[in-house]
Amino acid sequence: MAFEQKIKELLDKRGEARLGGGQKGIDKQHEQGKLTARERIALLLDEGSFEEFDMFVTHRCTNFDMQKKSYLGDGVVTGYGTINGRMVYVFAQDFTVLGGSLSETMALKICKVMDQAMKVGAPVIGLNDSGGARIQEGINALAGYAEIFERNILASGVVPQISAIFGPCAGGSVYSPALTDFIFMSKENSYMFLTGPKVVKTVTGEDVTVDKLGGAMVHASKSGVAHFVGETEESTIQTIRELVGYIPSNNFEEAPMVATADPIDRLEDHLNTIIPENPNEAYDVKDVILSIVDDGQFLEVHENWAKNLVVGFAHMGGMSVGIVANQPKAMAGVLDCNSSRKGARFVRFCDAFNIPLVTLVDVPGFLPGTGQEYNGVINHGAKFLYAYGEATVPKVTVTLRKSYGGAHIVMSCKQLRSDINYAWPTAQIAVMGASGATEVLHGRALKEISDPEEKAKFIAEKEKEYNDLFANPYNAAKYGYIDDVIEPRNTRFRVIRALQALQTKKDSLPMKKHCNLPL
């Protein structure tokens, strides 16, 4: 074959591979308001940075005449590229090829990028759009998934793993994302379920739509499976790019410092009066977060789930930080099963990837009652406690108002190896609030008072006595549990100075095979 012909053959093959399952499939994808695998990669990576692997791979299955349904690239586009100049490895499933279903060879392609990402220490981003294991391949497809899962597990805590769900993802194509650090979904056309509505109907008799079973908002607000939800595929992909900016490429790196013109000593006078006079009145802790971080930029994780705890990424003085804050605006900021799971997962991610933790505390305690106990609040709360106690990254805690009981301990108290603990003058650090404490401590005396007026007077006196002792930060500061009481408007400066001081922190855990946290 002449040289020109060889080049033409190459270009023709490339052209064929770029069409995936064919133009009809691409048109169908667009009609449904979905992008193709290649369009998604183009949006994700810096322009012109994508280097593709394995364009010419085809599947090896001959069951059910499958040799007649063979496509170059076999249902997944893989390779590497950059996001704002930083290397990432990527795979994007191509729904136009047999519904993006996973074959043995497709699994090999995905494993290849995962292996390379591990060798060079770069994040792996998977864009999923797949009906799960390719049914015609049987056990080979299952083996392929198992190979991917094993790599997800080995890569966990070594390189960041990010998954996006675009399309109806079922079976293995949701298990692999579940093993990764963050799951993104887009509001339209994005579904996750282990088994689809037809199987649900057969097994349980339940009639359910795909939206109700596994739509983006279901997983973003009810199950907590999805960490981020975007309006469109485009905006979802932009948020993935944003997230990458906050995290290091692997567990040996620090997150990149970013330049900021935001002065570290910026005073925020309104913080001096943000805490309401009435201790039962709420305020929005996100106002505090936005006031203290660089340029008011905060990337919230799990924005729609367990809203009584706010977690997310920001920069402070150019350093990446993970922020964890009780939210008085939602359920008074109480800790419960879901917020504990949310907090634990976030703290462990930050610790695995060297991102310092800034904790803002205003917590009245754990939510009591059978609803919580039956759902295992003891275990879930213990997870959060474990995560903070285990974390060796720099930990800076600021108590804004309430910090009561077990929840005080969980929220990065001094004895859980928190490095620097500040409190606002409005802080109250105690075993419980004044009214509960009075009930317990003076129950017998209260029973003996029959006159309601006299009873109210007695309660007010006892509550005052309790508040005088505990409704302030100075009792805890007296013991050194609080390192300093700071002016709220100066919080940004004090936290950044603390983070700067802790930049060279070294701390470790005893040698062990792995921990056994209460899962």
The site for ligand HXC (CB under 6 A) is made up of: 98-99, 101, 131-135, 142, 145, 168, 170-172, 175, 195-196
**Would you tell me the crossing angle of helices 452-470 and 434-441 to the nearest 10 degrees?**
120
Per the annotation, the verdict on 73 as an active-site residue is no
- Secondary structure (3-state) at 336: coil
CA distance linking residue 161 with residue 152, whole number of Å: 8
Amino acid at the residue 202: T
| Active-site position among 25, 81, 172, 433 | 172
Residue 98 or residue 434: which is nearer to ligand HXC going by CB?
98
| Active-site position among 25, 171, 214, 405 | 171
CB-neighbour burial class of residue 251 (10 A; exposed 0-12, middle 13-18, buried 19+):
middle
Cα 447–453–457 angle (5° rounding)?
Answer: 80
CB of 131 to ligand HXC, least distance (A): 2
The answer to whether residues 117 and 98 touch, using CB atoms and an 8 Å cutoff, is: no
CA distances to 83, 268, 288, 320, 361 from 298, rounded to whole Å, are 19, 17, 11, 11, 18
- How many residues are present in the chain? 519
Per the annotation, the verdict on 433 as an active-site residue is no
The answer to whether residues 171 and 132 touch, using CB atoms and an 8 Å cutoff, is: yes
CB of 142 to ligand HXC, least distance (A): 6
CB of 115 to ligand HXC, least distance (A): 20
CB of 177 to ligand HXC, least distance (A): 12
C-beta neighbour count of 396 within 10 angstroms:
26
Per the annotation, the verdict on 406 as an active-site residue is yes
Return the sign of the alpha-carbon dihedral for residues 511, 516, 518, 519.
Answer: positive
Residue 133 or residue 344: which is nearer to ligand HXC going by CB?
133
For the chain, count helices (H), then strands (E). Answer: 20, 15
CB of 132 to ligand HXC, least distance (A): 3
Contact residues for 470 (Cβ-Cβ < 8 A; gap 6+): 428, 429, 430, 434
Residue 175 or residue 182: which is nearer to ligand HXC going by CB?
175
Amino acid at the residue 437: A
Q: Which helix (H) or strand (E) holds 52?
A: strand 51-53
Classify residue 342 by its DSSP letter. H
Residue 129 or residue 268: which is nearer to ligand HXC going by CB?
129
- Structural tokens at position 93: 């499933």
Contact residues for 270 (Cβ-Cβ < 8 A; gap 6+): 287, 291, 489
Residue 79 or residue 171: which is nearer to ligand HXC going by CB?
171
Residue 20 or residue 171: which is nearer to ligand HXC going by CB?
171
Match 């499933």 to its residue by tokens.
Answer: 93
C-beta neighbour count of 40 within 10 angstroms:
26
Q: Give pairs for 505-511: CB < 8 Å, separation 24+.
A: 505/392, 505/393, 505/394, 505/419, 507/392, 507/417, 508/392, 509/390, 509/392
Per the annotation, the verdict on 171 as an active-site residue is yes
Residue 61 or residue 321: which is nearer to ligand HXC going by CB?
61
| Active-site position among 391, 407, 471, 498 | 407
CB of 125 to ligand HXC, least distance (A): 21
CB of 355 to ligand HXC, least distance (A): 30
Residue 197 or residue 356: which is nearer to ligand HXC going by CB?
197
CB of 176 to ligand HXC, least distance (A): 8
Catalytic residue ranges? 171-172, 406-407
